[in-house]
Structure 1
Amino acid sequence: MSKDLNKTVVYSALEVANICGVVNQTAINWIRNGYLSAFSTPGGQYRVYQDNLINFMTERKMRIPADLMKDGDVDNVSRSILIVEDEKGLNSVIANYLEEKLGDVQVFQAYDGFEAGALLADKKPRCVIMDLNIPGIDGFNLCSKIRDSNDFGKPQVYVITSLTDEGIEKKVKDLGATEFFQKPIDMEDLADKIKKYSGF
């Protein structure tokens, strides 16, 4: 692994392969087929920027090693969580639990669609925990926007809801959600899933 003068973290194809648990040729194929953004050195070797690798792994729900999140000059935004829940008491309970359970993490809280959109665009959190019943915005549409837009940093989405409609879990996962939790929330399971999929 090497760094340029601006301390940007860059990985070789072999390092990418080791991080993802695949052989070198598989990582090269990901790059050649356009799945993983990379550039070539004058000698023809592939190099991958850290943020591109994290985005690639996040989109495919691959476990992100904690060292990858902490390496180089990745700042606290990479360890940030946005909670979108209009019930302020529950919002605070989730925030306090995750701060205690996950340690060095920055938690942002939104109580309606306007606040959620502003914080998503400004903070670009690593993951979003969101209720589907959000004042000012349709939760399903928000899932879709987070998935399709590059403006929010492609965070992982963890949906929490009291809705019991048939097929709702499949629907939100089809819209890009990483995990689905029925209320009342199993807080330990939520924290464990965030550790597993978001690298906290």
Structure 2
Amino acid sequence: MSEIKLLTTGQAARYCHVSQATIVNWIKRGKLKAYATPGGHHRILLSDFLAFLETYKMPMDSALRTQSRPRVLIAGDSPHATMLARTLQGGGRFDVALSSNGYEASAQVVRFGPDAVVLDMTGATLDCLALCRWLRASPEGEAISVLAVGDPEDEEAARTAGADAYLPSAAVADRLEAKLEALLESERNRGKG
């Protein structure tokens, strides 16, 4: 499971060059999303802080932005998997890793800590369904979003194995980034609820 990046109100205040009381006021007024710890202190998800900065057109340094990029592991051994990785890397919105076999993919889940795994089922000899079942059964993978990509006839098997979403390979060029972002947003909302 990937590490959740959090900020304290003091860290957010230093970054914005305002007082801690101002940050708390923004939280109370609903301008900045945060949650309260059992001790009554506020914590802010880095992704929510970045959204706040963008909404209010506040400056954002590149180091802060890259810390918040979702991590995506592409699992597949076909040239199509390499194309998927390049597509996501080219957009600059995701940190991407590629693995071409089940052993490497399971090691990457632990080492890379992806937020999502894209299973490339197009012409793959990698057993994507077994990898998906392993993700759903293991503590390391249960919180990871899984997007399967393949031919339309593969969708039912992918969902039965535990994939959260499915994207036909014919639509991948136009919809991969948007589908991943929607899947990750849905997972964030489910985790907060």
What residue is the counterpart of 1:168 in the other structure?
157
Which residue of 132, 143, 148 maps to 1:159?
Answer: 148
| SS of structure 1 residue aligned to 2:98 | strand
Task: From the superposition, tell whether residues 105 and 184 of structure 1 become closer, same or farther in structure 2 (CA, over 3 Å).
Answer: same
* Distance in 2 separating the partners of 1:2 and 1:152: 31
Once the two structures are TM-superposed, the CA of residue 189 in structure 1 deviates from its matched residue by 1.1
* Distance in 2 separating the partners of 1:167 and 1:2: 45
Q: Which runs of 5+ in 2 are unaligned?
A: 1-7, 15-22, 55-59, 186-193
Task: From the superposition, tell whether residues 167 and 152 of structure 1 become closer, same or farther in structure 2 (CA, over 3 Å).
Answer: closer
Task: From the superposition, tell whether residues 149 and 73 of structure 1 become closer, same or farther in structure 2 (CA, over 3 Å).
Answer: farther
| SS of structure 1 residue aligned to 2:153 | coil
What residue is the counterpart of 1:39 in the other structure?
37
- 1:1-200 correspondence runs (5 A): 2-3=9-10, 39-41=37-39, 45=40, 47=42, 50=45, 67=51, 76=67, 78-87=69-78, 89-100=79-90, 102-132=91-121, 135=125, 138-152=127-141, 154-162=143-151, 164=153, 167-168=156-157, 170-172=159-161, 175=162, 177-198=163-184
* Distance in 2 separating the partners of 1:188 and 1:179: 16
Larger radius of gyration: 2
Task: From the superposition, tell whether residues 76 and 135 of structure 1 become closer, same or farther in structure 2 (CA, over 3 Å).
Answer: farther
The CA RMSD measured in Å over matched residues stands at 4.3
Q: What are the superposed Cα offsets for residues 94-137 of structure 1, whole Å, 9 maximum, x if unpaired? A: 1121122x32432111111011111111000121111347646x
Once the two structures are TM-superposed, the CA of residue 195 in structure 1 deviates from its matched residue by 2.4
* Distance in 2 separating the partners of 1:116 and 1:94: 15
| SS of structure 1 residue aligned to 2:86 | helix
Once the two structures are TM-superposed, the CA of residue 167 in structure 1 deviates from its matched residue by 3.3
* Distance in 2 separating the partners of 1:77 and 1:153: 21
Letter in 1 for 2:84: I
Letter in 1 for 2:85: A
Q: Which runs of 5+ in 1 are unaligned?
A: 22-26, 28-37, 55-63
Letter in 2 for 1:196: A
| SS of structure 1 residue aligned to 2:139 | coil
Letter in 1 for 2:176: L
Task: From the superposition, tell whether residues 144 and 75 of structure 1 become closer, same or farther in structure 2 (CA, over 3 Å).
Answer: farther
Asked whether the 8 Å contact 2:80–2:120 carries over to 1, the reply is: no
Asked whether the 8 Å contact 1:156–1:198 carries over to 2, the reply is: yes
Once the two structures are TM-superposed, the CA of residue 76 in structure 1 deviates from its matched residue by 4.1
TM-score between both structures, scaled by the size of structure 2: 0.59
What residue is the counterpart of 1:57 in the other structure?
none
TM-score between both structures, scaled by the size of structure 1: 0.57
Letter in 2 for 1:146: L
* Distance in 2 separating the partners of 1:140 and 1:179: 13
| SS of structure 1 residue aligned to 2:114 | coil
